[in-house]
Structure 1
Amino acid sequence: MKTKRTTTLLKVALSAIVLITYFTFPQVALAQSQKGELRGSLTDAETKEALPYATVAVYTAQDTVMVTFRMSDDKGNFKVPGLPLNQQLRAVITMVGLKVYRKEFTLTADKLTEDLGQIKMEQSSSMLGEIVVVAEIPPVLVKNDTLEFNASSFKTLPTALVEDLLKKLPGVAVDGGGNITVNGKTVHKILVDGKEFFGSDPKIASRNLPADVIEKVQVMNDPEVLRRDPDMPVGEIPQVINLTFKKGIKKGTFGKVYGGAGTDGRYEGGGILNAFRDTMQISVLGYSNNLNRPGFGMSDMRRIGGFDRSGMNSIMMMSNGGYAINGIGFGGMGEGIQQSSGGGANFNTVTKNGIKLNLQYFYGGIQDELNQIINTRQSLQNDTLNTLQRKDKSGNSNKHQLGGKLDWKLNSLTDLSFTPSLSFTNSFTNLGEFTDTHKGTTGPVNTGINDTRQEDEAASLSGNYALNRRFAKKGRIFNLNGTYDYAKVLQDKYSLARNSFFEPQPRTTEQDQYRDNNRYSLGIKNAVSFTEPIIKDLSAVFRLNSEYFNDENTISAFSRNPETNYYDLPEDDLSTQFDRKGWRNYITTGLKWKVGKVTVQPSVRFTALTIESDFRERAPIEQDYFYMFPSLNLQWKEISLSYNVDLREPDAVDLQPVVDNTNPLFIRYGNTELKPTVSHNVNLSLYKFDMQKGLNYNVFVYGGISNDAITRQRTVEANGVQVTRPVNTDGNWNLNGSARISKDFKYDSSRKISLGAGVFGGYNKTLLLLNGTESFSKRWNISPSVNAGLNLNDKFEFSQSLRFNIQTNNYEQGAFAAQNVITRTSDTGIVLRMPKKIVWEANFESWYSSNTVPGIQNNFGRLNAAVIFLFMKNDRAQLKLSVYDLLDQNISVSRIIRENMIEDYQTVTLTRYGMLTFTYNIRNFGGKVGSTSGNTLFRF
């Protein structure tokens, strides 16, 4: 009751703040009262066709300050509302390749609308920049497939970063995690002056580059992805943002150093420095904290050195606010309480002949502790099985990575790139597990204590190359690319298990075992593609893919000898040597046909798969498969439709012919007879942004049917031991979809309200094999959400999001009891910047789940609050006093429905602490631009 009462009081308080703001800033409510409007339509004077996506900007005539702007719609019509009365205004209409149109006018109470009628825009032989005065540079331009924003048209605070600038751009959305979308499409890379200056994670640049050094923000389809796959559906092409610096900003240093101390021994500290001179960049960083979060945001990591540029292949994992890149943990990854430390350096340069070079080294280390309760409730045919697990884990991991990248533009039509990477990892884990299993009808079934100690050493050498060749003949394209990956993992695992069984008769067992598991893998992939235009709007496409793989897995198991106290008693039944190698070869032929606004790409893929598996215990197995799969891509305006077939062979661990009984209560078998899985997939997408109305909406539907899917056949024995074995099954399919709509209400350049709503839903039908019973599990999932945001001249910001997740799981013929769960999450944030030099922040998160079992908390609320004091010139220093989990209610709770079970997780995590942190932002640039020059500290 205390939690619910506190939550209610907080919501009342937040509502009161909103009401106070409403009366404090009454101009928001009256923003559109007594306002005028400009309207008209645009056509090309020469072709007589309508002109969509022209920029219509309105300025004050006296001092040329932009009031607002709009874009013309598909029919060339435009409407600019919310204009002030009794003030001389100037309309400036611009479009690439056309002369600028200007018109001065004044609106009054008697004349609320200025109708310019039909405007015929004339062709221009001059570049736009030559005929537009600096003060009237259009806020937005559309250049072919590129959307270009003029940064100076969007007001930001002196201390603002690129992320703050992006939030003000129409059609651009930035969520709380820093993920960026443009018109509903994800941005996966930020360039600076056309170069991958900060790697391919956009958050590194967006959360570290100051906004006031940026002149233009350009949004486009990723040209590198299009070179690798020219026939990719438009809706699937990732977006790229290119930031261009203002003149004079070609030399400089930026970064930050920070340090903080808190209660209960909490601390954080680190520094990141990025120095560049024209085409050269040097970056260094270091950090350490015990706050369950990365030492730097993902943005920091890539911003600093372009870690993606260095050939790391960008394999990312994210969890609980933390992340890992290619196995390097940066903190906050996983569950429990963690201490993370790391450091590295990065070097980028461009030679005189245009070769881009990168070298990079990084070290990441994590020490973690985990205390967790997992309650699993299984529905059996005539009973229920409840398993309670308590985990106590500690460990550490360390990884060193050295990488580089070479980009070489051989000539105007040919590009070559090569990215090698080398890494070394070692880790150590101690895990203690207590398991208690009951049946609903008979009571206790078994208990167990399992202590495990595991040591891992790993090394890998990987990289990729790409050669892209365009020809003078338009539409003729040649691409050659490939990857290589060699990895070695040496694992030593010691397990001591003591188990007591109460059914069918009482008994106690003990197992003391050592497993030496060595894994080696080699993969080489090469792909060639060629596109040849046949006639206008019709091209032939040819692709050849050849992939070689070789996986070796050796397991040697031993029992402890009570006489010698060494693990020298071989367990031949648990030992094996497995070697799998083979080839995957694809030949794809197809056509690309463009008819008006419709592009159709039918193709056929021929696949040959050869696998040879060698086992120590039995004769080799040779498998040869041949498939012919059709595919289709269709594009019409903003709608994309695609159909394709995927082929995936079983994982090596699923093929192992020996049992894994390191935990005698959960035993896993392999299956040497597994076949590759064939999946038929369909995708339908719609992405639309109405610039005239500021409305953004998208719909995405995808589904698939899998033949020979890998399914875990399970058996729950009378004594509660659970045994799994992978088998091939048919009839598994899924259908998922999402839809989202959002709208920005921008009354002028300083006031903005954002509203959004979305829904995600899915249906999955999967075969469940349990104790000899076959039944299809039918799982429904629907997750509606709403969000709202308010920004008043950057003085006051308010955000609210609410999400529900409803899951239900039914079974054919009622073989098992139906499972249902509802969860609700809410997130409320407030930022208040007053009085001057002081920033107040508060964030409240709440979580609720239905039907949790006794002992697992079903709701919690977490309130974080902070006050920030800005000082020194240009606010480059700040002192932040923050309190984490002010209500002291924080826990980590989650619920999962799968197969015939509901799993509840509750994890010990950080509780309330206070922290005082000092941060100094380094902003040193060669040119005097805004507030960025004049740093007396950290000069280079």
Structure 2
Amino acid sequence: MKHLYLSLLCIVFLLSAKTSLAQNAGIKGFLADSATKTPVDYATVAVFNLNDSSIVNFALTDAKGGFELSRLPLKTPLRLFISHVLYGSMRINLKFDSDTVRDLDTLYLVENTAMLGEAVISWEQPPILIRNDTVEFNADAFINRPGSMVEDLLKRIPGMEFSDDGKITVNGKEVSKITLDSKDFFTEDPVILLKNLPAKAIQTVQVSEEKDDRGKPTNSGKVTINLKLKSWAKTGHFGKAYAGYGSDDRYEAGAIWNFFRDTLQVSVLAYGNNLSNAGFSYSDLMQLGGFNRSGSNTTIYYGDGRVEMDGISTGGGSGITESAGAGLNLNYDIPLKLKVSGSYFFGYTNTYNFQQTLTNTNMTDSSLIRQSNLDEISRRYQHSLQAKLSWTPDSIHQFKYTPGFSFQHGNNLSTRIIQSEYSNQSGSNSLNTTLSDSNNSNAFSGGASWSGKWVKWEHSIYQYHSFRKGGLDGNNLIRQFYADTNLINFSSNQVRSNQTDNTNLSQGYTATKFINDSTSLDFGVDVKLEKSVQNTTVHQNDSNGFPQYILLPSLSTQFHSDRREYNSGFFYTRGLKRDWQLNASFELGVLQLQLENKMNAAKTNKSFLLMPAQLSFRKNTPVGVWHLSLDYEPETPYNWDLLDVADNRNPNSVRIGNSNLNVSDNYSVGGRYFGSIGKSGISVWSYASYNVALRQIIYRTKVTESGNTETRPENLASDKVQRSSSGYMSLSKRFNSKSWSHRLGASLNYWASNGYTAFNDDFYTQGNYHISSALSYTLEKKDVLDMTVRYQRGYGVSSVQDLNSSNKQNSDQVRCDVWWAMSKKNWVEMKYTFNVQRVLNSTTIPQQYALLNVSFTRLIFKDNRGQLRLSVFDVLGQNTHVRRWVYLNNSVESQSNVVTRYAMLSFVYNLHQFKTSGRSKRGYEFW
């Protein structure tokens, strides 16, 4: 209960802050041209606090010239500032003694010609301006915290939202790229977090419609952001370095440095730690490290949540990881309109993982309990070379080529013990597997493309190729016994060798015709070829581990696959009335497969006709974007599932293929809305979808008398329909009260499915649904406090009819994040999470833990570039990696080792060095 009290205390502390959310005033009125008396739309109406020059609220006038501003503080001197690019500005001083709405009636603006020579106070610059198709935000009006980076700046601009995966939208429109002074800045990726570029260097944030490399609108509905630098920040370098050491020999160190000057950009990074954390996030590597601009990269997503990119770990996942990496990235815009990018990176990871998993499976007249213990040590080394060349000789032609190389090797030692208890037998089934191996792989990939305009059509030709070779050699010791009325012992000491050889080729052509400003037609064809060879040979050792060179055909494969795809299709876009846009696409494709296991002469030749199609409608409004879609997508079987071969490398769980598999048909209808609700200032993210699958591929599970399982894929009959639906909505609103800023948020997430599953010889109806809701509150005071409290509740049910199986789960989570500046030089940060997971019909007790991290930071050196930080991770000593979930007739609990409590003293140095206009500083000034 003490953790619940701590959670409640965090909430009470927030709500007891000395803020006043009521007692607010407002103004309203209209703007008109002084000469013509016609309404003036898209003018900026802003209210500033004269005490500290901060912006209180602002709005743009509508088509009728109307405006309305609320939440204006009482008994505070204010200034109303009105501006428009075609008119002179207007100022009105205000002060409210009561919570009334003051009607200013009609205000008349005079054309700029009559206002030449007018002085404008620097802090009085309008927070927003409309210039043709570009919206400009004055950066100084939105900077909140000293030392703020561009990410903090963008989050405070109205209508700009960051999703959990890092995507940015402006009034619901996705941001495809962010540039600096109209140049690519270490990245071309829409998922961008500029964490190390100081916000104070930005003059304006410009939002405009997405354009291609030749400056033509793409009509994609996306937008781009251009960060316009202040004059003193045109040339410079930035980055950060850190080092720390703590209890239990925990350590971290790293540095990232970036230099930019007109056409040259350089990034260098290095790091090392044993905290299961890279020190640089995935976004840091992609954006600050310049990974995205240097061509194709190898990114591996593991099932336990780990992500590795070119061998560099970004942390996460099961176990405790020691990681290190170093790299260089270079981007250079050469004269003659040639851009060259290149990079080299080295990555190393060493992971120790101890994981326990308990699975309960309920069946009609029996049950299966399986407990698995995994003890594993794995090491990986990877070298990666990437490059990209882009040449745009004129406004018509563009050529690109992106080669890449990677070299990887590693080794692994693991022991897995699986204990199964099947209710139909009196004893248990035990499997003990010890696997040791070394592995390596070499890969080369590249892509070439040309795009240009010819005979009023835009054309593009592209070609992609990749070649990968890999190998794995190791020993596999398997011991298994069944305990029942008869005792069976089994032991196998094996030598395994696995060799892979993959070749991928893809080439295509597209042509685009712009019929008019709102209508276009795309036509394309492509051919994809994939050849894969996977040879696995297993030999038996004797009981002492010496080779007998006895081939085990049942465990060996020589899997050869030849996959060919031939596709053609079109994409049609047309503007409709009331700002709606129609998009329609259709493809006709043929997939040919030739699969063979030369070890046992099993063959499968398959050919599938594929016709995916989509119809969608999109509407852009001043406050948001609507999107409605109807899709049909055929789903083809996996190559391995189509071959009648048993994969019995794990005797406890055998997979068998099925050459009779066919394509399944998936239909979906959905809708999305991103933006705000009218003029209320409430931001909305929402979507809903409904899906129907015919002839869905499922995996039938059979349990043998010994408690082993066998799975085999098969298509459901056409009368057995799988259905699913999902929905999400989040609402948030930011408002001000005197010098405080508040943000309220709420979200609801829903997912449900019903269909069929198969156990032993029977089909069963299964249903699943999960619903979660969350509430959040953020309190901010400029340069002083940034505090967020979030509560989330989840509930789920997974049931299988006729098996008397209904598994239920729920979870609760409270999070509280606090940043408090005790003074200008001293910061305190706290992150607290209290989590409870329950499986309601299980005999296990609810799993709960509290994670509390606290740090104290002292700012040092000139411009606060240095930070001396004392931090304690897992103050309560309860950190754990436990997951509980239910699916079908199974309930699962998994737990693995994690980093636990430690204290660390760290030093961080932030480098933000910019060339001052007319002179250049050399070296660093520490004091």
Question: Contact (CA 8 Å) 2:83, 2:90: kept in 1 or not?
Answer: no
Q: Which residue of 1 aligns with 2:287?
A: 303
Name the CA shift for 1:788/1:662 in 2 (closer, same or farther; >3 Å): same
Q: Distance in 1 between matches of 2:676 and 2:834?
A: 32
Name the CA shift for 1:104/1:862 in 2 (closer, same or farther; >3 Å): same
Question: Contact (CA 8 Å) 2:166, 2:193: kept in 1 or not?
Answer: no
CA displacement, residues 370-413 of structure 1 (integer Å, 9 cap, x when unaligned): 11110101011212211111111111111111001122222124
Say which of 555, 570, 573 aligns to 1:589.
570
Say which of 507, 516, 519 aligns to 1:526.
507
Q: Distance in 2 between matches of 1:817 and 1:87?
A: 64
Pair 1:610-2:598 in alignment: no
Question: Contact (CA 8 Å) 2:595, 2:643: kept in 1 or not?
Answer: no
Question: TM-score if structure 2 supplies the norm length?
Answer: 0.91
Question: Contact (CA 8 Å) 2:686, 2:729: kept in 1 or not?
Answer: yes
Say which of 181, 184, 191 aligns to 2:179.
191
Matched residue SS, 2:877: coil
Q: Which residue of 2 aligns with 1:489?
A: 470
Structure 1 letter corresponding to 2:359: T
Question: Contact (CA 8 Å) 2:533, 2:558: kept in 1 or not?
Answer: yes
Matched residue SS, 2:233: coil
Pair 1:40-2:29 in alignment: yes
Gaps of 5+ in 2: none
Q: Which residue of 2 aligns with 1:25?
A: none
Q: Which residue of 2 aligns with 1:670?
A: 657
Pair 1:551-2:532 in alignment: yes
Q: Distance in 2 between matches of 1:248 and 1:515?
A: 63
Pair 1:844-2:832 in alignment: yes
Question: Contact (CA 8 Å) 1:140, 1:148: kept in 2 or not?
Answer: yes
Q: Distance in 1 between matches of 2:729 and 2:557?
A: 49
Q: Distance in 2 between matches of 1:158 and 1:129?
A: 34
Q: Which residue of 2 aligns with 1:396?
A: 379
Name the CA shift for 1:796/1:289 in 2 (closer, same or farther; >3 Å): same
Matched residue SS, 2:839: coil
> 5 Å matches for 1:465-864?
465-469=448-452, 477-503=458-484, 505-534=486-515, 537-562=518-543, 565-566=546-547, 568-589=549-570, 591-596=572-577, 597-616=579-598, 617-618=600-601, 620-637=603-620, 638-690=625-677, 692-729=679-716, 731-747=721-737, 750-812=739-801, 814-851=802-839, 858-864=847-853
Name the CA shift for 1:628/1:159 in 2 (closer, same or farther; >3 Å): closer
Q: Which residue of 1 aligns with 2:404?
A: 421
Give RMSD over aligned pairs: 3.6
> How much does 1:652 deviate?
3.2
Matched residue SS, 1:309: helix
CA displacement, residues 705-758 of structure 1 (integer Å, 9 cap, x when unaligned): 33444322211111111112223335333221111111111236x521111111
Name the CA shift for 1:904/1:531 in 2 (closer, same or farther; >3 Å): same
Q: Which residue of 2 aligns with 1:275?
A: 259
CA displacement, residues 597-652 of structure 1 (integer Å, 9 cap, x when unaligned): 22223343222222223442337543333344442121234221122333443333
CA displacement, residues 508-545 of structure 1 (integer Å, 9 cap, x when unaligned): 11122233222222222233332324467444332223
Name the CA shift for 1:540/1:733 in 2 (closer, same or farther; >3 Å): same
Structure 1 letter corresponding to 2:26: E
Gaps of 5+ in 1: 23-27
Q: Which residue of 1 aligns with 2:241?
A: 257
Deviation larger for 306-315 or 332-341: 306-315
CA displacement, residues 87-118 of structure 1 (integer Å, 9 cap, x when unaligned): 8755443456x334424244454895543434
Name the CA shift for 1:125/1:546 in 2 (closer, same or farther; >3 Å): farther
Name the CA shift for 1:376/1:411 in 2 (closer, same or farther; >3 Å): same
Q: Which residue of 2 aligns with 1:916?
A: 905
Structure 2 letter corresponding to 1:608: V
Structure 2 letter corresponding to 1:268: E
Q: Which residue of 1 aligns with 2:6?
A: 10
> How much does 1:135 deviate?
4.8
Matched residue SS, 1:463: strand
CA displacement, residues 333-356 of structure 1 (integer Å, 9 cap, x when unaligned): 321111010001111111122322
Structure 1 letter corresponding to 2:180: V
Name the CA shift for 1:650/1:15 in 2 (closer, same or farther; >3 Å): closer
> How much does 1:911 deviate?
1.2
Name the CA shift for 1:440/1:720 in 2 (closer, same or farther; >3 Å): closer
Q: Distance in 2 between matches of 1:918 and 1:314?
A: 32
Structure 2 letter corresponding to 1:653: W
Q: Distance in 2 between matches of 1:108 and 1:366?
A: 62
CA displacement, residues 7-33 of structure 1 (integer Å, 9 cap, x when unaligned): 0331344245335532xxxxx21x653
Deviation larger for 381-390 or 566-575: 566-575
> How much does 1:452 deviate?
1.2
Pair 1:79-2:68 in alignment: yes
Q: Distance in 2 between matches of 1:651 and 1:778?
A: 25
Matched residue SS, 2:151: helix
Matched residue SS, 2:392: strand
CA displacement, residues 41-93 of structure 1 (integer Å, 9 cap, x when unaligned): 35689999976654212346899764432233576532123446788755443
Q: Which residue of 2 aligns with 1:216?
A: 204
Deviation larger for 856-865 or 586-595: 586-595
Name the CA shift for 1:320/1:488 in 2 (closer, same or farther; >3 Å): closer
> How much does 1:176 deviate?
8.0
Question: Contact (CA 8 Å) 1:197, 1:305: kept in 2 or not?
Answer: no
Question: Contact (CA 8 Å) 1:856, 1:906: kept in 2 or not?
Answer: no
Pair 1:170-2:152 in alignment: no
Q: Distance in 1 between matches of 2:678 and 2:227?
A: 21
Matched residue SS, 2:17: helix
> How much does 1:221 deviate?
5.7
Deviation larger for 352-361 or 124-133: 124-133
Pair 1:290-2:279 in alignment: no
Q: Which residue of 1 aligns with 2:391?
A: 408
Q: Which residue of 2 aligns with 1:875?
A: 864
Q: Distance in 2 between matches of 1:229 and 1:660?
A: 52
> How much does 1:218 deviate?
3.1
CA displacement, residues 194-231 of structure 1 (integer Å, 9 cap, x when unaligned): 33322246776522111111122234565459999967
Q: Distance in 1 between matches of 2:470 and 2:460?
A: 34
Name the CA shift for 1:568/1:143 in 2 (closer, same or farther; >3 Å): farther
Matched residue SS, 1:248: helix
Name the CA shift for 1:664/1:86 in 2 (closer, same or farther; >3 Å): closer
Structure 1 letter corresponding to 2:528: E
CA displacement, residues 735-793 of structure 1 (integer Å, 9 cap, x when unaligned): 21111111111236x52111111111111234312111112321111111111110022
Name the CA shift for 1:761/1:425 in 2 (closer, same or farther; >3 Å): same
CA displacement, residues 639-679 of structure 1 (integer Å, 9 cap, x when unaligned): 21122333443333334543332221112223344334443
Name the CA shift for 1:933/1:296 in 2 (closer, same or farther; >3 Å): farther
Q: Distance in 2 between matches of 1:99 and 1:514?
A: 82
Q: Percent identity?
A: 27
Question: Contact (CA 8 Å) 2:794, 2:811: kept in 1 or not?
Answer: yes
Matched residue SS, 2:7: helix
